[in-house]
Amino acid sequence: MNAALNRSLFAGLACCLLSGCAGIEGPAVVDIVRTIESSEGITSDDYEQLTDISDLVFRQIRDLDPQIHPQLTLFTSRNFVQHIRQRTESGFGPDLIITDSETALDLYDQKLIDPIQLTEQDRQDTPQSLLDLVTAKDGALVGRPVNQFVQLACFNKSRLAKPPGNLQELAQSSDDATFGMAIQLKDLFWSAEAFNATPAFQAAMDGSSIDETSRARVTSWLHWLVGSSYQQNIRFLNTQRELRQGLIKGELDWITCWSSNLKRLRSKMGDNLGIAALPQGPVQHRKASTRLEVWVLGRNSSQLQRRKALVMLKFITKPWAQKTYALMSASSMPVSQKAAAIVASKIPGGSEALNNYIQNDEQPTGKVRVKARIFRDQMSYDTISDALLDTIYDVRTPKESTEQILQDLKETR
Amino acid sequence: MIEALSRELITWLGYLQRTAVLVQVAIVVIAVIADKKSRWTRKVHSEFLISVSHLITPGLLILLGMVMKWIGVPGGYLQYLALIWLIWRLIKPTNLLLKRRFPKLPVEQLDQALFRPVLVVFTVISFFQILGSRESLSIIELGEVFGVTLTVGKLLTAMVITYLITAYARRPAALVAWLGGFFLGLKPQRQRALEVIVQYSVIAIGVMGVAYYVGINGTALVAVAGGLSVGIGFGIKEIISNFISSLWLLFEGSVRPGEILMINGDPCTVRKLGLRATQLRRGRDGAELLIPNQNFFTQEAESYTAEETSRRDAVVVGAAYHHEPQRVIEILEALAKDHDKVLPYPAPAAFTIDFADSSINYKLLFWVRNPLEAFAVGSDLRQAIWTAFEKNGIGIPFPQRQVYPMEWPPSKDETLRIGGSSSKLQADKTESAGEAP
């Protein structure tokens, strides 16, 4: 350990000495910042959760290029953009940022990161639907998708023998068990897809006419949300973290969760943790709801640091690395289509997520998925989020909210 | 811990690979050197203006940082360093200004106990914040205390809070004491006792709060108390004894700040009742005495202010035998009654106390309100007695001794002459001898 530390310190010192010689391919410290969802600050547990995989990744990258010295720091999502702005304006911005697609787009909007160039081969290996999620309005690719986390249902096996398979069962089961959902659009979007409300959003954003059927689906979705909020045993909480805490404490028996949190939940609940797909809605074809893990390039890197960051980026998106780390974590699906096909059956919700790749093939070229369009445009995202809150809190009727959403989406076009 | 620290250190070293960071640091270094060598302030004679002029360089650096950011070049670190520099340099003009506007404000105390400590904490935290290391440094584990993992963040926070509590507990305590005096009509001494009690209560509650913040629960505190009880038995008996004595004295109210006690025959004012010792100021020479609290607890103490502050003192004087004692007593009592600081009630009284060898001795007893003034009043009265006796033809006799040189062994003639009825003093004899031809 001491020898390793000494080596690192020596390398760091050497980095400084070579700082004036940008042309020399010397050692480089690559500052990596990773966001995690936590409202109570980072703890040493959070580092321990990531240590196994990140250590292995960094070790293997250093086998490839011993001159790279990656240094990982964790940050909470809260005020993250502001934090990165402060550091970037001072010259201390990270070389690499590992975050979700929404944050990446936000960072790009505020000119805190540099866009990424992908080779044609890289583009072919990554589903366009995922690239859409990290494509800014100006067409720039703001980050490189590396993993995707699948949204699932997590439940307490000792309290709920069989998880609800569809929304009707969920309503019926709520007599015996307590269900929890996060009142955030990114966590509730699965239900919009389950009611097939997205074509109306798409039409509104395109400025085309919206047929009554599509409009009615949006209203049905909102009706379902209001109906659920009226139920005694369905609770809407603010964040995913509150949901997880509720499940761990036994206050909730079923919650929507993300595969990124399975390790933490399993460590707290042990064998009582059950995992299932999200309930199916009126639409028969189930879609996987996923959240991207994106690697983004900071703006303050020296030329050497940028080169090393790109080496790391290239390494982590290789099918071999994608497969290895996805299987190790058992919680994320790789973005590489080749790797995804191999690991899908081993990852909870992986088979449904694999459908996204297939759908992507069916998607007309250049047609950006509605989810990506909503999530990358803050105004559209806020429009639907506000309408959701107004509906759940009975400020507006589902019908009024439907009209409001579609009207606002048209205007923000 | 070392691994985590080295990780941060390596990250910071990585920043030195960046031209933008190096440029900002270089600008600050050059500015500091230039500022040190600048001489134009030598023509300014006002201390305030000189201190204000020292703000110009950091102010210009802040502007430069803004310009750099405006043109899209990182200038935030330059701005930050300049801002910290500016804030530190603001201390002096602020102090001067405060002194000028509020002469009664304890500016130096505020500077040392508030401004500078707060700035140090702000500087350290903001420095690591801008480097992006504040959170990761704060979770570095230092070890376990009573089963609780102590991190750098928790330790520093606990230290800062403890400092603030101990340094500033007196302010709310003084407010409570003042309110007690205002609403309950407490005397100043009781107010000060109340202040001390509230102050230590605030500190005790604060320290317990900090312990709970760190994560040390009640069980651990009980364990600490158990360990201490063993320690008390061996090594720290005296400390605990003094501590308990101080609490007892505070609640009993027998030794309070402002109280006047006789210590080894000297009146001393209690200035501060500490947890270990009581600080007193000796009236005679102004020396500060630190007396362990248990002394007051276990030994008798003479107080002039326990119930009332009046003190009785006495002046002893002798008058010749041929003066009528009644007349002398009247003069003495009249003198005492005329003195401003001698209390009319109980009235001063003079007594004949002794038929001494060469005088009749009198004692004048009088009361003063402030025990510390008794010494000065006694002095005044003695002077007044001398003047009054002189005026009334009353002599103050005193024994006189005359010395005669003698031969040894004395000659027979000399012995006979001295013993005879016509004997003369030796001086006369010497004088006569001198006059003899």
Q: What is the pLDDT of residues A41-54, one digit of tens each?
A: 777 777 777 776 77
Report yes or no: A17 at the B interface, CB cutoff 8 Å: no
Any idea which residue has 């990114």 for tokens?
A186
Q: Answer whether B17 sits within 8 Å of A87, measured CB to CB.
A: no
Higher pLDDT, A264 or A300: A300
Any idea which residue has 């158990």 for tokens?
B226
With respect to residue B214, please indicate whether it lies within any of the assigned structural domains.
no
Angle at CA of residue B112, ends B111 and B114, nearest 5°: 65
Query: Are residues B20 and B4 both part of a single domain?
Result: yes
**C-alpha closest to that of A291 among A135, A128, A150:** A150
Q: Answer whether A11 sits within 8 Å of B21, measured CB to CB.
A: no
Q: Answer whether A302 sits within 8 Å of B17, measured CB to CB.
A: yes
Measured CA to CA, the distance from residue A54 to residue A45 in angstroms comes to: 14
Domain end point (choices B91, B117, B138): B138
Report yes or no: B16 at the A interface, CB cutoff 8 Å: yes
- Residues of chain A with C-beta less than 8 angstroms from the C-beta of B132: 31, 33, 73, 83, 87, 92, 94
Measured CA to CA, the distance from residue B65 to residue B81 in angstroms comes to: 10
Higher pLDDT, A77 or A22: A77
Checking if the pLDDT of A367 tops 70, the result is no
Pick the CATH number of A2-148+290-362 from 3.20.20.70, 3.40.190.10, 3.40.50.970, 3.40.640.10: 3.40.190.10
- Residues of chain B with C-beta less than 8 angstroms from the C-beta of A92: 15, 21, 77, 130-132
With respect to residue B55, please indicate whether it lies within any of the assigned structural domains.
yes
Query: Are residues B258 and B293 both part of a single domain?
Result: yes
Say how many CB pairs under 8 Å bridge A and B.
113
Angle at CA of residue B246, ends B245 and B250, nearest 5°: 115
Cα A118 from chain centre: 20
The most confident of the ranges A14-23, A41-50, B273-282, B302-311 is: B273-282
Checking if the pLDDT of A19 tops 50, the result is no
- Residues of chain A with C-beta less than 8 angstroms from the C-beta of B133: 73
Range of the domain at B436: 403-437
- Indicate the pLDDT class of residue B41, thresholds 50, 70 and 90: low
Give how far A9 is from chain B: nearest CA, Å. Answer: 6
| Mean per-residue pLDDT, B97-103 | 87
- Residues of chain B with C-beta less than 8 angstroms from the C-beta of A5: 2-3, 6
Measured CA to CA, the distance from residue A234 to residue A255 in angstroms comes to: 10
Percent helix, strand, coil in chain A (nearest 5)? 55, 15, 30
Report yes or no: B83 at the A interface, CB cutoff 8 Å: no
- Residues of chain A with C-beta less than 8 angstroms from the C-beta of B6: 5, 8-9
Higher pLDDT, A377 or B364: B364
Element spanning A362, H or E: helix A350-362
C-alpha dist (Å) from residue B278 to A241, A287, B168, B240, B370: 55, 78, 21, 15, 21
Query: Are residues B116 and B9 both part of a single domain?
Result: yes
Report yes or no: A110 at the B interface, CB cutoff 8 Å: no
Query: Are residues B353 and B263 both part of a single domain?
Result: no
- Residues of chain A with C-beta less than 8 angstroms from the C-beta of B143: none
CATH of the domain at B276: 2.30.30.60
With respect to residue B225, please indicate whether it lies within any of the assigned structural domains.
no
Report yes or no: A67 at the B interface, CB cutoff 8 Å: no
Give the residue extent of every domain in chain A. Answer: 2-148+290-362, 184-220+377-413
Query: Are residues B374 and B419 both part of a single domain?
Result: no
| Mean per-residue pLDDT, B353-382 | 90
CATH of the domain at B373: 3.30.70.100
Q: B323: which residues sit within 8 A by CB, 6+ positions away? A: B360, B394, B395
Checking if the pLDDT of B436 tops 50, the result is no
Structure tokens at B215: 């994560």
- Indicate the pLDDT class of residue A365, thresholds 50, 70 and 90: very low
With respect to residue B161, please indicate whether it lies within any of the assigned structural domains.
no
Q: Answer whether A12 sits within 8 Å of B13, measured CB to CB.
A: yes
DSSP-assigned letter for residue A328: H
Summary mean pLDDT of chain A: 82
Measured CA to CA, the distance from residue A149 to residue A316 in angstroms comes to: 16
CB neighbour class for A148 (10 Å; exposed up to 12, middle 13-18, buried from 19): buried
Higher pLDDT, B93 or A11: B93
Q: Write down the pLDDT at residue B326.
A: 94
Checking if the pLDDT of B421 tops 70, the result is no
Report yes or no: A73 at the B interface, CB cutoff 8 Å: yes
Q: Answer whether B131 sits within 8 Å of A92, measured CB to CB.
A: yes
C-alpha dist (Å) from residue A289 to A239, A256, A279, B143, B384: 17, 11, 12, 42, 105
3-state secondary structure of B424: coil
Domain end point (choices B261, B276, B303): B303
Query: Are residues B97 and B37 both part of a single domain?
Result: yes
Model pLDDT for residues A74-123, shown as the tens digit of each residue: 888 778 888 899 999 999 999 999 998 888 998 999 999 999 998 888 88
Model pLDDT for residues B397-419, shown as the tens digit of each residue: 887 777 777 767 766 666 665 55
Report yes or no: A300 at the B interface, CB cutoff 8 Å: yes
Measured CA to CA, the distance from residue B378 to residue B138 in angstroms comes to: 67
Largest alpha-carbon pair distance within chain A?
70
Q: Write down the pLDDT at residue A58.
A: 87
Q: Answer whether B14 sits within 8 Å of A31, measured CB to CB.
A: yes
Report yes or no: B133 at the A interface, CB cutoff 8 Å: yes
Any idea which residue has 């003479």 for tokens?
B302
Measured CA to CA, the distance from residue B405 to residue B408 in angstroms comes to: 10
Model pLDDT for residues B156-197, shown as the tens digit of each residue: 888 888 888 888 888 888 888 888 888 887 777 677 777 878
Q: What percent of chain A has pLDDT over 70?
A: 85
Q: Write down the pLDDT at residue A7.
A: 54
| A91 → closest Cβ in B7, B20, B129 | B20
Angle at CA of residue B222, ends B221 and B228, nearest 5°: 90
Buried/exposed code over B131-151 (b: 16+ C-beta within 10 A; e: otherwise): bbbbbbbbbbeeeeeeeeebb
| Mean per-residue pLDDT, A126-134 | 84
Model pLDDT for residues A320-332, shown as the tens digit of each residue: 888 888 888 777 8
Backbone angles phi, psi at B108, to 5 degrees: -65, -40
Model pLDDT for residues B245-300, shown as the tens digit of each residue: 877 777 676 777 777 888 888 888 888 877 788 899 988 888 999 988 888 878 88
Query: Are residues B131 and B253 both part of a single domain?
Result: no
Find the residue in B nearest to A85 (Cα): B76
Higher pLDDT, A249 or B37: A249
Checking if the pLDDT of A282 tops 60, the result is yes
Domain end point (choices B303, B334, B358): B303
Higher pLDDT, B137 or B393: B393
With respect to residue B179, please indicate whether it lies within any of the assigned structural domains.
no
Model pLDDT for residues A200-211, shown as the tens digit of each residue: 988 888 888 888
Find the residue in A nearest to B150 (Cα): A44
Angle at CA of residue A189, ends A38 and A209, nearest 5°: 145
Query: Are residues B241 and B290 both part of a single domain?
Result: yes
Q: Give me the number of domains chain B comprises.
A: 4
Angle at CA of residue A58, ends A56 and A62, nearest 5°: 115
Structure tokens at B148: 């609780």
pTM above 0.90, yes or no: no
Q: Answer whether B10 sits within 8 Å of A305, measured CB to CB.
A: no
Measured CA to CA, the distance from residue B168 to residue B260 in angstroms comes to: 27
Report yes or no: B80 at the A interface, CB cutoff 8 Å: yes
Find the residue in B nearest to A46 (Cα): B139
Measured CA to CA, the distance from residue B300 to residue B262 in angstroms comes to: 10
| Mean per-residue pLDDT, A348-361 | 60
With respect to residue B167, please indicate whether it lies within any of the assigned structural domains.
no
- List B residues 140-169 in contact with A (Cβ-Cβ < 8 A): 141, 149, 151
Expressed in angstroms, the distance from the first to the final Cα of chain B is 111
Give how far A182 is from chain B: nearest CA, Å. Answer: 27
C-alpha dist (Å) from residue B203 to A306, A410, B171, B288: 53, 62, 12, 25
Query: Are residues B86 and B53 both part of a single domain?
Result: yes
Q: Answer whether A75 sits within 8 Å of B69, measured CB to CB.
A: no
- List A residues 303-362 in contact with B (Cβ-Cβ < 8 A): 304-305
Query: Are residues B30 and B126 both part of a single domain?
Result: yes
Give how far B250 is from chain A: nearest CA, Å. Answer: 43
DSSP codes of every residue in A274-298: EEEPPPB-SSSS----EEEEEEEEE
Query: Are residues B128 and B79 both part of a single domain?
Result: yes
| B13 → closest Cβ in A16, A74, A88 | A16
- List A residues 85-104 in contact with B (Cβ-Cβ < 8 A): 86-92, 94
For residue B350, what are the β-bridge partners? Answer: B364
Query: Are residues B127 and B48 both part of a single domain?
Result: yes
Find the residue in A nearest to B70 (Cα): A89
With respect to residue B28, please indicate whether it lies within any of the assigned structural domains.
yes
With respect to residue B72, please indicate whether it lies within any of the assigned structural domains.
yes
